[in-house]
Every structure is written in C-alpha cells, then in structure tokens.
Amino acid sequence: MTRPVAAPTRPGVLFSLMADSSLHLETLAIHAGHRPDPITGAVTTPIVLSSTFERAPDLSYPAGHNYARSGNPNRAELETVLAALEGGAEAAAYASGSAATYAAIAALAPGEHVIAPLDAYYGTRQVIAEKERWGLTVSFVDQTNLAAVRAAIRPTTRMIWIETPSNPLLTVTDIAALAEIAHAAGAIAVVDNTWPSPVGQRPLSLGADLVMHSTTKYLGGHSDLTGGALVTRTADERWARIRSSQKEVGAIPSAFDCWLLLRGIRTLPWRVRAHSANALAVAEYLATHPKIEAVHYPGLTSHPARAIIEKQMLLPGGMLSIQVKGGMEAAVAMTNRLKIFTRATSLGGVESLIEHRQSIEGPTTRAPANLLRVSVGLEHPHDLKGDLEQALA
C-alpha cells in the first residue's frame, strides 16, 4: 500500500520569503520558513517528536527527513528563519551557544591559528584555548587596537573570532575593519552576535563570514531554553564540513526547543527595541548617580568607541555593566537590596537580571571586582530606575 503524501499548500513560500530582501525583519521573524501545516491546517507548526521518518517505495524521503539527528521539520523551520534574520545563506542550530562555538572551532585543522579577543564570553575563551590540545594555536588580542591585530597575523591564521559589544566590559570593535584584516590574510571573520541580536547588528552585511549565536538569550527571549546557532554568508566547503559535523556529532536542539525558540523569535524585533530603550533609560540614570563609578553601555555618548557604534550598530541593546563605588562589597550589597532585578547569570529574557561577574568567572576572570553585569528586561523603565535608586540609597 502506498500512502499519499500531502503536497505543501503553498509550495515555495519557504524560500521565496527568505530571498525577498525587501521584507523587513519583523515580517521575516514571523513568516520565513513558515506555512500552515499542510496535513492539519494548523497555523502554528506542530511539534514533531518522531525520531525517524518513513521511506517511500522508491527509497526516497518525500518530506526530506530521514532521522531526527540529521534533520527535523521544527529544526528546518528554525534554521530557515535564523538564516533570513542574519541575511545568510544557511544556518545550523545547536543544543547551546557553546556547542555552536565548538563546531566553528572544530572545523579548523591542527596547526591553524585563531585570533580571539581579550574580552569575550568566558566560555568562548575556554573552548578556544582548550583546542590548543588539538594543535590549534591561539592569540588573545585587544581587538580595539587594529595594529595589534595586524601584528598578530601569522601565515597560518585562519580565523578572527570577534565579540562586540564584548562581555563583560562592552568594548566595541570594528567588524568591517577586522573582516578586512582577516580576508587579506586568507582567514575568515566570525562574530558572536548574541548580545546585539540581528536586530542590533548585522555582521554578515559588514563583511563577516560566519555569525554565532547563543539562542538561549535574546532569540529565545524568555529564559526557558538553551540553544545556539551558526549562520554562514555562503554555503561553501567550510560550511559543508560544519553541516556534516552538526549531523554526525548531534549536538542538536530538541524539537520542542526549536519550537519554543521559533515562538520567541516571532517577537524578537519588538522585544529587542524595548530592551534597548529600557537599557538606555537605566544607563543614563546610573551614569549621573554619585554611587556609580562607571557605566559601560554602547548607547551613552561617552562610550570610547562612539564612531564605530554609530557606523555598525542599529541599536545599543539591552546589556550594560556598571562599576559601583566601594568595591566588591558595596556592589554585592547593592544587588541584595534590589527587589525587581533578580541575581542570576544569563541575559536576554523578559525579566531584568543582575550579576556579580568576577565571582562567577573563576581565576582567569578579567572582570573588575566592583563590576555588575545587567540584563535590562521589559519591565517599565520607571520601576527599574526606582528599584536601583532604593538599592543605591
């Protein structure tokens, strides 16, 4: 018996929407890769939990999936949206941001050299440094200094890893300039775009080759999933290696996590704009507060990389760091008086979080002792400022 395979109700919608560059991010976030389910008519994609897919009598797989480690409808939809949001050719989804970082680094060969930033997500520095055991060589360089980056280039340099704004000091580096240096050396530029999200920064349009995301953060947006992604500008030979390792290693997100992430992505542009407006209000308030030593935020005109920010960022984003007068003790005591902000790591969720960074990063931390990292949520900015005011009083 041959069972009928339902034809897609709107064939082509998946990729035609993606290729239509006249569409805005808001529209792509909702429609790219999506169509009502052809079998049930469900407007929201059903969660497909099946680990395996039926093969047709002619040995083909009519819906394109054969086994869930290799691919699944929820993951396919997610990857289509992620590629559309970053303006890339393809995306690969992972079980965490760190798994995505690992996949990009593991695509390099022994003997190759990576230039990584001094100030970066702690776990990224660990993943990159750990690969020295496999014969990779790594230079950690202050990437705000382009001459230092040029000086670090070796004949074997194949990747410049970029994180801007950086974690936790919100330093900003020039993506276009770093991509140019990378390309001149025969290397690629990879940008961790987790903090700004595609709403705040479009690295591929600035010359980067690969974008990495911890989708745990703004893309998910509700602090209820762990995920990661890589997005490539071109589906080249390197990408083929990354794609096959994604399927072979299997550090993939579950169907439910893909579905949850898609649900978050639908509202991404609106959420990130609101996060950014709230963060600017909080940063401007704290910048003049007598108990605050420094505010690190790309939206402040006092930021040392103002010219680059205006050139490459679309929004300053929802993340900032503050240094509290009186050292670690005063900083931690302040967090203990807050009522709306939650003391927790991570970022990008609807709720505001605050974190003493040095004590969580361990011995090789670069975070100052009095530094608190703040993820500004979607509460009313007046309430957030009020909470900070009473905690600093």
Ligand X SMILES: *Cc1c(COP(=O)(O)O)cnc(C)c1O
- Catalytic site positions: 69, 121, 192, 217
Assign residue 373 a region (left: φ > 0; alpha: ψ between -120 and 50; beta: otherwise). Answer: beta
Closest CB to ligand X among residues 31, 201: 201
- For the CB of residue 215, give the shortest distance to ligand X in the complex, in Å: 7
- 281 to 340, contacts with ligand X by CB under 6 A? none
Residue 171 as a binder of ligand X (CB under 6 A): the answer is no
Which spans in 210-305 are helix H? 237-249, 255-265, 268-287
Closest CB to ligand X among residues 195, 341: 195
The answer to whether the peptide bond before residue 155 is cis (omega within 30 degrees of 0) is no
Tokens representing 327 are 């050292």
Q: Which stretch binds ligand X (CB under 6 A): 9-17, 90-98, 262-270, 351-359?
A: 90-98
Residue 221 as a binder of ligand X (CB under 6 A): the answer is no
The answer to whether residues 140 and 118 touch, using CB atoms and an 8 Å cutoff, is yes
The answer to whether residues 112 and 243 touch, using CB atoms and an 8 Å cutoff, is no
Point out the residue whose Cβ comes nearest to ligand X.
97
Neighbours of 68 (CB within 10 A): 20
Residues 6+ apart with CB under 8 A from 138: 113, 114, 115, 116, 128, 129, 131, 132
State the number of binding residues for ligand X (CB under 6 A): 16
Closest CB to ligand X among residues 153, 190: 190
- For the CB of residue 213, give the shortest distance to ligand X in the complex, in Å: 8
Residue 226 as a binder of ligand X (CB under 6 A): the answer is yes
The answer to whether residues 325 and 292 touch, using CB atoms and an 8 Å cutoff, is yes
Per-residue b/e over 268-303, b at no fewer than 16 CB within 10 Å?
Answer: bbebbbbbbbbbbbbbbbbbebeebbbbbbbbbeeb
Residue 278 as a binder of ligand X (CB under 6 A): the answer is no
Q: Which stretch binds ligand X (CB under 6 A): 67-75, 96-104, 138-146, 309-317?
A: 96-104
Residue 275 as a binder of ligand X (CB under 6 A): the answer is no
Residue 97 as a binder of ligand X (CB under 6 A): the answer is yes
Residue 122 as a binder of ligand X (CB under 6 A): the answer is no
The contact set with ligand X (CB under 6 A) reads 96-98, 121, 123-124, 163, 167, 192, 194-195, 214, 216-217, 226, 228
